[in-house]
Amino acid sequence: MNTQDTNRRIRLIMDLRNKGITDMSVLGAMERVPRDAFVPEAVKDQAWDDTALPIGLGQTISQPWVVAKMTQSLMLSDRDQVLEIGTGCGYQTAVLSHLARRIYTIERHKPLAAMAQERFDTLRLRNVTALCADGMKGWPHKLAGETPQFNKIIVTAAARHSPPQELLDQLALGGVMIIPVGQPGDQHLRAYRRKEGNEYSIQNLMPVRFVPLLPDIA
């Protein structure tokens, strides 16, 4: 990394701190992951700006502030198994990989899933398992051998009204799901915490703008 990119990275981390990201482990992960490795060549000069960028197929790499906020809201530990819905370019996945025990990530767009896997291999992220599938159905039971349960779930596309029931069912007791919910133009990032049985506490975190959560494989 050249001096200019190093300075941009430092400025971004300082900006995230100023915007309320206080978890030093999250800031450390954001600093370690080379965001410029996850964006197309045409926008590499903007990789360290605090802005969303296009990655093709109508998808975007999220604004670093949003990535940091969602990650911090998960309250991760190195014992957590995380389910991520919407791998995209793999940037959020890479950040999570430095903070949790294992990441299971699902992407519906085959070209994006393939490119993300190449990046994981290049960066030697050995605790990431990636799959091209319908993320609204959660992690496939046939791969888990039983109903899979995750301490933390993060969804990087917006549900229209509420999280898919299949994802809620895969959230472990006491676990947390971070997901955008709402119609285009009126979306809010929410934290769902599973209580006894099928009861969930819900907390609105902030207004956001995400692509919609869609079924099937594109």
Alpha helices in the chain (DSSP H): 3-18, 24-32, 64-74, 91-97, 110-122, 141-144, 165-169
CB-based contact 187:181 (threshold 8 Å): yes
User: How far apart (Å, rounded) are the C-alpha atoms in residues 179 and 177?
Assistant: 6
- Return the half-sphere exposure (C-beta side, CA atoms, 13 A cut-off) of residue 20: 10
Our answer to whether residue 62 is catalytic in this structure is yes
Phi/psi of residue 11, each to 5°?
-65, -40
Residue in 25, 62, 73, 201 annotated catalytic: 62
Q: What is the DSSP letter of 213?
A: P
CB-based contact 132:107 (threshold 8 Å): yes
Query: What totals of helices (H) and strands (E) does the chain contain, helices first?
Result: 7, 9
Active-site positions read: 62
